Each structure stands twice: as C-alpha cells, then as structure tokens.
Structure 1
Amino acid sequence: MQQELNDGKEERPIAIEDIVKPGKFGVTNSQMIPAIKQVIGDGSVEKLRMLRSMYLYSFENSLRYLKKSEREFIQNNLK
C-alpha cells in the first residue's frame, strides 16, 4: 500500500560520502563549502556534526567563506 503511494520514489537519506568527494589533495574548501551549505539547507545538525568530526581541519577553515547566517546556524547548533 505504501509502495503504491510512493510510486517507486524512495527518499533515502543522503550519506556524507555522497556530499563530499575527496579529490587528489583530500577534502578542500571547494568540496567542503558546498557540502556545508547543502547540509545547512537540509537543516540536519547531525550531518553537520558528522562533517565536522570527519573533516575537522577543512570544516573549520571553510567557515570563513560562509554567509553570516550560515556561520550563526553552525555556531548555535554545534557549540
């Protein structure tokens, strides 16, 4: 019954590996900034925590390139 309602469109949660793809030099700001923006757009504090714990250096260095409202969201929810 539920399968009929979804019409085959299953919404699975996006994994961190799907958001951040490490490149030749690991995870850089060019990968981290869009990932942070996407997670903030989804409002997922848990994924923000995962990004921060997995890529602490890149995460912290990418914060300066975010909008003030995005930095405040992170500040209010992570610290």
Structure 2
Amino acid sequence: MASCHTAVVGGNVIEGHVPASTIDRLLKDRPDIRGLAVPGMPMGSPGMEVAGVEAESLEVLAIAHDGTTSVFSRY
C-alpha cells in the first residue's frame, strides 16, 4: 500500500493520493476499517494531474484491521 504521503484523518490512515470526495465518504459513513490507500502515484489522481496526459483509472482500497484490502471506490 506504499505511496508518497501518509496522513491520519478522523482516526483512519490515508495513504497516497486519495480523492477528497472519498475521504468525505469515509468520514460520513464511518466504516469499520483501518483506512484508505491509493498505492503508487497514478496519473490523474489528486495532485498528479498533468495537462495533455490522460488520467489513469484508479482504485481506492479499504484497509481492514487485519491488513486485507478491498476496493472502496473506483475513478
């Protein structure tokens, strides 16, 4: 799940370029997870937008308390 940025928001870890709307959903819904991650630095993710470069699709992964992951959202 490694990326370039790590934060703790509302008691959940946020790893990588997680879109703000997904963090808002996390804070609203409060699922029982450790946090969210966008591994790597996908082009087009927040902060990785480049004019003339097509955005990659990306998956935001939910990290369970046991370390397993599942898809939380797709962009």
Q: TM-score, normalised by structure 1?
A: 0.25
- Return the TM-score normalized by structure 2: 0.26
Identify the structure with the greater strand proportion: 2
